[in-house]
Amino acid sequence: MNTTATGRAIPRAKLLLAVLAAILVAAACSGTPDDDQSADQRIVSISPTGTEMLFAIGAGDRVVAVDQFSYYPDDAPVTDLDGWNPNVEAIASYDPDLVVMQTSGDAGASLEALGIEVWAHDAPFAFEDVFVQIEQLGEVTGQVDEAAMLVAEMRTEIAELIAAAPDVSGLSYYHELDNTFYTVTSSTFIGQVYSLFGLANVADPADAEGSAWGYPQLSDEYLVDADPDVIFLADTLCCGQSAQTVAARPGWDQLTAVRDGRIVELNDDIVSRWGPRLVDFIAAISGVLVSLGATS
């Protein structure tokens, strides 16, 4: 027998029931992102990719503020928060329980010191990294099932798009990041997307040693000599580039891609963000290749 503080005896069975009840109550109070407490979670996102992921997994209704470049989807609560130079005081003013950001650094540490949970992510190196990030965000927001469903849907759609595209092995391409000819090599995540279709990147020799981290700046002369079969423009929004402006560049009218009308105008944001709209990027490439046919 055990006794209470007043000295009264407590039957062992009742004591065990009391302990069990206490454990259950403690577990309920401690909570996890998967329980009802997540419904009251206030989220601030200063990562455009993170914002898209949050809304795609069904956590958008808890997002109280996003950075100035998180303008997708349309109902994202855009503010003047700066994701590149995070202002801890400004972020904390929204009283968040969770902050989603890229590479947290000092700002992330300061937010955590205030008792605010931080979920930070880096640019992916492979497709699996994208799926892992979505699933991790699902865990911290209590949207585990929704995140798993999104990943499954993305995997299926991507596989179907790749399967639908013709064999274009042998065709070369140039992916333009801006009108000063910065581009990507096959070592980058964007480059890996093109590699799925068997396309050859004309920029690879320009950064063979990786000194530019996969983002070399090319020149007019280099590109004219490389003569890509297809040109993908990821600077239509930032820099106003189009098939017309490319064709008007000195000497570019002789390029195979220009002569054959193989200049593809992409949405900068879709290409640069690796969240749910990665499927849209792959769909754009697949669609172009289908229209070209197996011309390698």
Q: Which of 259, 254, 56 is nearest to 148 (CA)?
A: 56
Q: What pLDDT, in 10s, does the model give residues 78-92?
A: 999 999 899 999 999
Say whether the peptide bond before residue 228 is cis (omega within 30 degrees of 0).
Answer: no
Residue 162 confidence (pLDDT): 92
Indicate if the pLDDT at residue 280 is higher than 70. yes
d(CA 135, CA 148): 6
**Structure-token pair, residue 92:** 């904390």
For the chain, what is the total number of helices (H) and then of strands (E)?
A: 12, 11
Query: Can you spell out the DSSP letters for 77-115?
Result: -EEEE-SSS--HHHHHTT--SEEEEES-HHHHHHHHHTT
Average confidence score pLDDT of the chain: 87
Domains and CATH numbers, the chain: 2-30 (no CATH), 38-159 (3.40.50.1980), 165-292 (3.40.50.1980)
Do β-strands 78-81 and 63-67 pair in parallel, antiparallel, or remain unpaired?
parallel
d(CA 153, CA 139): 18
Q: What pLDDT, in 10s, does the model give residues 148-194?
A: 999 999 999 999 999 989 988 889 999 999 999 999 999 999 999 99
